[in-house]
């Protein structure tokens, strides 16, 4: 089963959040997804001022539905 990386992204100083799914291929193993999520976290936040990642998630099965592309 494929494993997909996604972020719960929130507007800084707000409780407004949405799901972002990076435009990358799914992972074969859970550890690979977790490592990629931790490596991508700070880079994503640097490239998206005014937002922060509240949660990193690795989902097994179908690609998560996101509100945008990370």
Ordered by start, the domain boundaries in the chain are: 3-63
pLDDT, tens only, 41-58: 889 999 999 999 999 999
pLDDT, tens only, 2-47: 999 999 999 999 989 999 998 889 999 999 999 999 988 889 999 9
End-to-end CA distance of the chain: 22
- Would you say the C-alpha torsion 58, 59, 63, 69 has a positive or negative sign? negative
pTM of the model: 0.82
Distance between CA atoms of residues 18 and 42, nearest Å: 18
Q: What is the pLDDT of residue 67?
A: 64
């Amino acid at each position: 089963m494929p494993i997909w990386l996604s972020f719960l992204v929130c507007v800084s100083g707000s409780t407004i959040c949405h799901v972002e799914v990076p435009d990358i291929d799914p992972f074969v193993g859970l550890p690979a997804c977790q490592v990629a999520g931790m490596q991508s976290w700070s880079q994503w936040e640097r490239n998206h001022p005014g937002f922060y990642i509240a949660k990193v998630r690795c989902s097994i099965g179908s690609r998560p539905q996101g509100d945008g592309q990370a």
